[in-house]
């Protein structure tokens, strides 16, 4: 996964800037209007907010408007306004939250959306990371912010083991979150293979979905004062995060994962071309990756389940999958290869005949 910030200090400053400059509004649907085909206005609040691509999709999805039609509406000025505003008025009983940043509407979500913001969470878990660094060493591998998600990937070099001689695996964690409804807040097991610097995700130690209590709005529209309204929620989540992070750092999962990798390293694939063809379909990878996966396995001379898992995670080093949201997808896919049930793995590796 490619970092989007030059250093962890820069990354934290960017996350803090987002936190300090964001504003959230809650209002009934009939108090929200689309103007100029791309801007939201909210009754009781001055100004208008330009929808980014993600929030634009959320608006269309909420209104039940198919994406192809919604995109085509751009060809006729005012047609988006007409479609959206009719349905916003007719969804009168549905309150919505609009999350904004510097004049941009970055999310259009339910009024039950629980705001788990990146900066308070990072602020809470950094003391745990500091303690872990003193005991196990610590390397921040990736710090990334996309339009929809945050990723922080960390390894603890002193907590390592070998799958076979010279094939060293380091223990780590992936911390991810979405402030705009693109996924849950989670702390996941994560491992890094030193030979190729591939990363692979594991199970979630903690996962918190962004679903909370309904936030009441009023006839004037409501600005949500962040520090006053979510402090207690974030405190509870932060405490759970500390416990989960300690489990991710010290727990027995790493030993279990190493045993799984060792078993995969002696699980020879008799028909690699057929297996790769099936795996690409099951893992929902693009068709072109068939040749890339085969080449990766041949170059390493490792035609085993372990070899296939690493061939998949190596895709994160390619231009197609280098960006954070796509890189995490192939890191998850690599773990899926290791975790196939005996029956599912048999289907992948058996002959077509």
Please, which residues have CB within 8 angstroms of residue 345's CB and are 6 or more apart in sequence? 267, 305
Q: Same domain, yes or no, for 223 and 329?
A: no
Of residues 336, 79, 108, 75, the one with CA closest to residue 200? 336
Question: Would residue 206 count as lying in a domain?
Answer: yes
Question: Would residue 258 count as lying in a domain?
Answer: no
Q: Same domain, yes or no, for 139 and 221?
A: yes
Contacts 24+ apart (CB under 8 A), 248-251: 248/173, 248/187, 248/188, 248/189, 248/205, 249/128, 249/132, 249/136, 249/156, 249/159, 249/171, 249/173, 251/205
**Residue entry with tokens 């040749």:** 291
Q: Same domain, yes or no, for 166 and 242?
A: yes
The helix (H) or strand (E) run that includes residue 10 is: helix 8-21
Boundary (domain end) residue, out of 196, 223, 251: 251
Q: Strands 39-42, 95-101: parallel, antiparallel or unpaired by DSSP?
A: unpaired
Q: Same domain, yes or no, for 272 and 221?
A: no
Q: Same domain, yes or no, for 305 and 222?
A: no
Please, which residues have CB within 8 angstroms of residue 174's CB and are 6 or more apart in sequence? 151, 152, 153, 186, 187, 188, 189, 190, 199, 201, 328, 331
What distance in Å separates the CA atoms of residue 31 and residue 278, rounded to the nearest whole number?
50
Give the gyration radius of the chain's Cα atoms: 23
Of residues 73, 78, 95, the one with CA closest to residue 35? 78
For the record, the structure tokens of 167 come out as 């094939």
What is the structure's pLDDT at 127?
84
Domain holding 90, by residue range, is 22-110
Q: Same domain, yes or no, for 204 and 297?
A: no
Q: Same domain, yes or no, for 124 and 226?
A: yes
What is the structure's pLDDT at 215?
53
Question: Would residue 4 count as lying in a domain?
Answer: no
Q: Same domain, yes or no, for 146 and 51?
A: no
Question: Would residue 17 count as lying in a domain?
Answer: no
**Surface-to-core class of residue 25, CB atoms within 10 Å of its CB (0-12 exposed, 13-18 middle, 19+ buried):** buried
Composition of the chain by helix, strand, coil, percent to 5: 50, 25, 25
Please, which residues have CB within 8 angstroms of residue 17's CB and are 6 or more apart in sequence? none
Q: Same domain, yes or no, for 239 and 129?
A: yes
Question: Would residue 259 count as lying in a domain?
Answer: no
Boundary (domain end) residue, out of 60, 91, 110: 110
Q: How far is CA 34 from CA 24, 38, 104, in A?
A: 17, 7, 13
**305-313 vs 324-339: helix crossing angle, rounded to 10:** 170
Q: Same domain, yes or no, for 276 and 185?
A: no
Q: Same domain, yes or no, for 170 and 201?
A: yes
What is the structure's pLDDT at 334?
95
Q: How far is CA 342 from CA 32, 158, 267, 306, in A?
A: 52, 33, 11, 15
Q: What letters, b where the CB count within 10 A reaches 16 and e where it falls short, cover 57-87? A: ebbbebbebeeeebeebeeeeeebbebbbeb
Question: Would residue 2 count as lying in a domain?
Answer: no
Taking the CB of residue 269, how many other CB atoms lie within 10 A of it? Answer: 21
Please list the pLDDT of the chain residue by residue as tens digits (353 residues). Answer: 767 777 888 999 999 999 999 999 999 999 999 999 999 999 888 889 999 999 999 999 999 999 999 999 999 999 999 999 999 998 766 789 999 999 999 999 998 888 888 998 888 888 888 888 888 889 999 999 888 999 999 999 999 999 999 999 999 999 999 999 999 999 999 999 998 888 999 888 877 766 655 555 555 555 554 555 566 667 777 777 778 888 888 888 999 999 999 999 999 999 999 999 999 999 999 999 999 999 999 998 899 999 999 999 999 999 999 888 899 999 999 999 999 999 999 999 987 64
Boundary (domain end) residue, out of 68, 88, 110: 110
Question: Would residue 14 count as lying in a domain?
Answer: no
What distance in Å separates the CA atoms of residue 234 and residue 120, rounded to the nearest whole number?
7
Q: Same domain, yes or no, for 318 and 208?
A: no
Q: Based on the structure, what is the number of domains in the chain?
A: 3
Question: Would residue 98 count as lying in a domain?
Answer: yes
**Surface-to-core class of residue 117, CB atoms within 10 Å of its CB (0-12 exposed, 13-18 middle, 19+ buried):** buried
Q: What letters, b where the CB count within 10 A reaches 16 and e where it falls short, cover 273-297? A: ebbbbebbeebebeeebbebbbebb
């Amino acid at each position: 996964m490619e970092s989007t910030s030059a250093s962890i200090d820069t990354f934290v400053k960017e996350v803090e800037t987002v936190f300090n400059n964001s504003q959230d509004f809650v209002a009934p649907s009939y108090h929200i209007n689309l103007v100029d085909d791309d801007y939201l206005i909210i009754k009781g609040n001055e100004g208008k907010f330009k929808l980014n691509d993600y929030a634009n999709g959320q608006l269309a999805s909420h209104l039940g408007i198919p994406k192809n039609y919604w995109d085509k509406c751009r060809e006729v000025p005012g047609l988006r306004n007409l479609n959206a505003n009719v349905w916003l008025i007719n969804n009168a009983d549905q309150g919505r939250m609009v999350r904004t940043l510097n004049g941009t509407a970055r999310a259009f979500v339910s009024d039950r959306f629980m705001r788990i913001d990146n900066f308070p969470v990072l602020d809470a878990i950094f003391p745990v990371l500091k303690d872990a660094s003193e005991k196990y060493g610590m390397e921040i591998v990736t710090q990334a912010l996309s339009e929809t998600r945050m990723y922080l990937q960390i390894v603890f070099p002193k907590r390592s083991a070998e799958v076979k001689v010279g094939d060293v695996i380091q223990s780590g964690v992936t911390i991810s979150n979405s402030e705009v409804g693109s996924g849950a807040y989670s702390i996941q097991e994560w491992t890094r293979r030193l030979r190729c610097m591939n990363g692979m995700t594991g199970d979630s130690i903690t996962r918190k979905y962004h679903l909370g209590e309904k936030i009441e709005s009023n006839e004037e529209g409501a600005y949500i004062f962040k520090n006053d309204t979510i402090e207690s929620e974030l405190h509870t989540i932060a405490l759970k995060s500390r416990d989960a992070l300690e489990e991710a750092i010290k727990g027995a999962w790493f030993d279990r994962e190493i045993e799984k990798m060792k078993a995969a390293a002696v699980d020879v694939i008799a028909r690699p071309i057929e297996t790769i063809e099936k795996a690409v379909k099951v893992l929902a990878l693009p068709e072109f990756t068939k040749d890339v996966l085969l080449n990766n396995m041949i170059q390493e001379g490792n035609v085993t389940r372990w070899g296939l898992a690493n061939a998949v995670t190596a895709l994160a080093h390619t231009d197609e999958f280098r960006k954070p949201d796509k890189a995490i997808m192939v890191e998850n896919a690599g773990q899926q290869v290791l975790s196939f049930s005996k029956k599912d793995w048999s289907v992948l590796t058996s002959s077509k005949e």
